[in-house]
């Protein structure tokens, strides 16, 4: 009987593990990939769905089209894992396994603030991007009907100045000041107010400090109000309470508050008797195996992989994609009774969009900014999209936007 490999999560870690395991283990294993969604989401371009630069279909690809027919895909929600019985419980039944790969990613972290959870817009999945797009369009519509309310309706607060927050706020800036103002000409231009709020005193994206300085200048040039050293204390339906350093809290009106200030690992396995790091990620060894359960691997955002410099690797797509083929090799080694392979992370660089056809790129041991960085960043994204159809249509959408045709 061939070995049963069950992979939980069809994101960067899970999908690429399924593809690598199929290539490597082919006829020797039955591979089952489980996800609650039937698409793979290329989240690094999610901000472009909010502005309709890209359509959902460009970054959310049907898994059936990406997977070879020998890999079984099951769309269902995983409810738990019994590591001793080697069984995954799902909404549609149990899946026994010989080898398990846990790649369930992360979820937004509201740090226990219920008002934030209730009123802020998370920015993690495709439905989040679509909901934010509709909401902001509605705000413009309401502002157009009653321009006196426009400043309150259109003050938009993005919380968290990591790479995601910077990309989102600059994309929103271009969209709101361009296509949305053209669509709603009654709205006074000066009513559009974008704030980027960050608890730390600096922009958080892990890039070269020179590039981060450039990012800060770009925000200033665009009139994006970067409030560093400021925490969100409370969010209401149309206001946000902020605290700058040790100063008194202030409440300001805000038609929209987006939460891009933190993630935590998917909590599905949190009650199992295995080791977790302080952030709640599953501790794995150098072969991605969970302590005491060598046949169970974890990777991507949910796993804490040891890193000599930072303690453990950051939760990024780059890490998950590089771990995937190693997971397949480790399973292959266990099947053949060999010593399992070990994972070594290679940082390939970073691309951060800053709107206006400009980006910051750190790659190949050098750093770029402006239009060349934008072009290089676009090329890297195109190379990473999982199928050729995507690449052609996405490149076409970007070309149209650069020429000012049909965006927004
Ligand atoms: C807006 C945004 C922009 C980003 N930009 C970048 C970037 O530019 N560069 C970069 O390196 N990283 C970026 N990241 C981070 C990157 O997306 C993650 O690090 C990466 O997706 C982690 O891969 P993963 O496989 O661990 O999890 P994911 O890719 O999130 O996959 C997890 C999968 O598990 C599924 N799932 C979860 N729970 C269940 C359940 N109970 N049952 C069934 N299925 C379930 C989900 O549907 C999902 O498909 C970005 C993230 C976001 C949100």
DSSP assignment of 221-262 equals HTT-EEEETEEEEEE-SSEEEEEETTSPPEEEE-SEEEE-S-
Q: Distance, CA 12 to ligand 1 centroid (Å)?
A: 6
Q: Whose CA is nearest to atom 53 of ligand 1?
A: 124
Tokens 């069809």 correspond to 10
For residues 245 and 162, membership in a common domain is answered with yes
Report yes or no on 394 lying in a domain. no
| Domain-located, residue 363 | no
334 within a domain of the structure (yes/no): yes
Pocket test for ligand 1, best of 105, 133, 258 (most atoms within 8 A of CB): 105
Cβ(11) to ligand 1 under 6 A? yes
- Do 250 and 132 belong to one domain? yes
Please report whether residue 374 resides in a domain: no
Cβ neighbours of residue 133 closer than 8 Å, sequence gap 6 or more: 49, 50, 51, 52
Euclidean distance between CA atoms 82 and 261, whole angstroms: 32
Which structure tokens are listed for 248? 């008194």
What is the helix (H) or strand (E) element at residue 213, kind and residue range?
helix 209-221
Q: Which of 202, 227, 261 is the last residue of a domain?
A: 261
Q: Are residues 16 and 140 in the same domain?
A: no
Collapsing DSSP to helix, strand or coil, 352 comes out as strand
DSSP 202: S
322 C-alpha to center of ligand 1: Å? Answer: 14
Q: Whose CA is nearest to atom 29 of ligand 1?
A: 11
Task: Identify whether the C-beta of residue 158 lies closer than 8 Å to the C-beta of residue 293.
Answer: no
Domain that holds residue 282: 3-36+76-108+264-347
The pair of three-digit structure tokens given for residue 226, joined into one six-digit string = 């970067």
What is the value of pTM for the model shown?
0.94
What's the angle, vertex CA 105, arms to CA 319 and CA 173, rounded to 5?
85
Sign of the C-alpha dihedral computed for residues 325, 30, 73 and 388 taken in this order: positive
Q: Decide whether any atom of ligand 1 lies within 6 Å of the 124 Cβ.
A: yes
Boundary residue ending a domain (329, 347, 365): 347
Cβ of 142 below 6 Å from ligand 1: no
- The reply to whether 118 and 162 lie within a common domain is yes
Residue nearest to atom 20 of ligand 1 (CA): 317
Q: Please give the Cα distance from 43 to 20 (Å, whole number).
A: 21
Please give the distance, rounded to the nearest whole angstrom, from the Cα atom of residue 216 to the centre of ligand 1. 27
What is the C-alpha separation between 169 and 197, in angstroms, rounded? Answer: 10
One digit per residue, the tens of pLDDT, for the chain of length 408 reads 799 999 999 999 999 999 999 999 988 999 999 999 999 999 999 999 999 999 999 999 999 999 999 999 999 999 999 999 999 999 999 999 999 999 999 999 999 999 999 999 999 999 999 999 999 999 999 999 999 999 999 999 999 999 999 999 999 999 999 999 999 999 999 999 999 999 998 887 778 888 888 889 999 999 999 999 999 999 999 999 999 988 999 999 999 999 999 999 999 999 999 999 999 999 999 999 999 999 999 999 999 998 877 788 989 999 999 999 999 999 999 999 999 999 999 988 888 989 878 899 888 778 888 888 888 888 888 888 887 777 888 888 888 777 665 545
- Looking at the structure, do residues 270 and 179 belong to the same domain, yes or no? no
Are 157 and 284 found together in one domain?
no
Same domain, 321 and 226: no
| Pocket flag, ligand 1, residue 162 (CB < 6 Å) | no
Examine the domain organization and report whether 154 and 206 are in the same domain.
Answer: yes
Ligand 1 atom nearest to 268, measured from its CA: 41
Domain assignment of residue 133, yes or no: yes
Residue minimizing CA distance to atom 4 of ligand 1? 44
Q: Is the CB of 323 under 6 A from ligand 1?
A: no
Tokens representing residue 236 in the block: 């209401």
Looking at the DSSP assignment, which residues form a beta bridge with residue 89? 80, 94
Encoding tokens for residue 319? 């890490």
**Cα 254 to middle of ligand 1, angstroms:** 29
Ligand 1 binding pocket mutation candidate from 34, 44, 133 (most atoms within 8 A of CB): 44
Residue 225 lies in a domain: yes
Residues 93 and 223 in one domain: no
Tell me what pLDDT residue 127 has.
Answer: 98
**So what's the pLDDT on residue 132?**
98
Q: Whose CA is nearest to atom 25 of ligand 1?
A: 13
Q: What is the number of domains present in the chain? A: 2
286 falls within a domain: yes
State which of 261, 282, 313 marks the end of a domain.
Answer: 261
pLDDT value at residue 404: 67
Handedness of CA 249, 250, 253, 255 (dihedral sign): negative
Q: Is residue 368 part of a domain?
A: no
Please give the pLDDT value at position 407: 47
Query: Are 125 and 185 contained in the same domain?
Result: yes
CATH number at residue 292: 3.50.50.60
For residue 45, the ligand 1 atom closest to its alpha carbon is 3
Q: Kind and range of the H or E element at 32?
A: strand 29-35
User: Does residue 77 have its Cβ closer than 6 Å to ligand 1?
Assistant: yes
**Are residues 181 and 90 both part of a single domain?**
no
- Do 198 and 322 fall within a single domain? no
């Amino acid at each position: 009987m061939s070995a049963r490999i069950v992979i939980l999560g069809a994101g960067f870690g899970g999908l690429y593990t399924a593809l690598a395991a199929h290539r490597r283990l082919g006829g020797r294993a039955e591979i089952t990939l489980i996800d609650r969604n039937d698409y793979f989401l290329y989240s690094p371009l999610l901000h472009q769905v909010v502005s309709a630069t890209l359509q959902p279909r460009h970054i959310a690809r049907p898994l059936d089209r990406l997977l070879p027919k020998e890999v079984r895909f099951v769309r269902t929600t995983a409810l738990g894992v019994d590591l001793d019985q080697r069984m995954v419980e799902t909404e549609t039944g149990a899946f026994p396994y010989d080898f398990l790969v846990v790649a369930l990613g992360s979820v937004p972290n509201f740090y226990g603030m219920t008002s934030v959870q209730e009123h802020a817009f998370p920015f993690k999945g495709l439905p989040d991007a679509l909901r934010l797009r509709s909401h902001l369009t509605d705000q413009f519509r309401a502002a157009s009907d009653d321009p006196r309310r426009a400043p309150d309706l259109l003050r938009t607060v993005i919380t968290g100045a990591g790479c995601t927050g910077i990309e989102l706020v600059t994309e929103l800036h271009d969209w709101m000041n361009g296509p949305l103002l053209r669509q709603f000409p009654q709205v006074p231009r000066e009513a559009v107010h974008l704030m980027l709020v960050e608890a730390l005193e600096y922009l958080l994206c892990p890039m070269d400090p020179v590039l981060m300085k450039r990012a800060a200048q770009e925000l200033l040039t665009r009139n994006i109000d970067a409030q560093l050293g400021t925490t969100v204390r409370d969010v209401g339906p149309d206001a946000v309470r902020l605290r700058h350093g040790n100063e008194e809290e202030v409440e300001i009106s805000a038609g929209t508050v987006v939460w891009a200030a933190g993630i935590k690992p998917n909590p599905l396995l949190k009650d199992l008797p295995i080791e977790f790091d302080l952030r709640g990620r599953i501790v794995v060894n150098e072969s991605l195996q969970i302590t005491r359960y060598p046949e169970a691997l974890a990777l991507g955002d949910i796993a804490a992989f040891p890193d000599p410099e930072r303690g453990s690797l950051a939760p990024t797509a780059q890490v998950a994609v590089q771990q995937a083929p190693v997971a397949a090799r480790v399973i292959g080694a266990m099947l053949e009774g060999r010593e399992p392979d070990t994972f070594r992370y290679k940082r390939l660089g970073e691309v951060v969009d800053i709107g206006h056809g400009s980006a910051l790129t750190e790659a190949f041991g050098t750093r770029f900014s402006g239009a060349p960085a934008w072009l290089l960043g676009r090329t890297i994204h195109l190379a990473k999209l999982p199928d050729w159809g995507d690449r052609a249509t996405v490149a076409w959408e970007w070309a149209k936007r650069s020429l000012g045709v049909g965006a927004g």
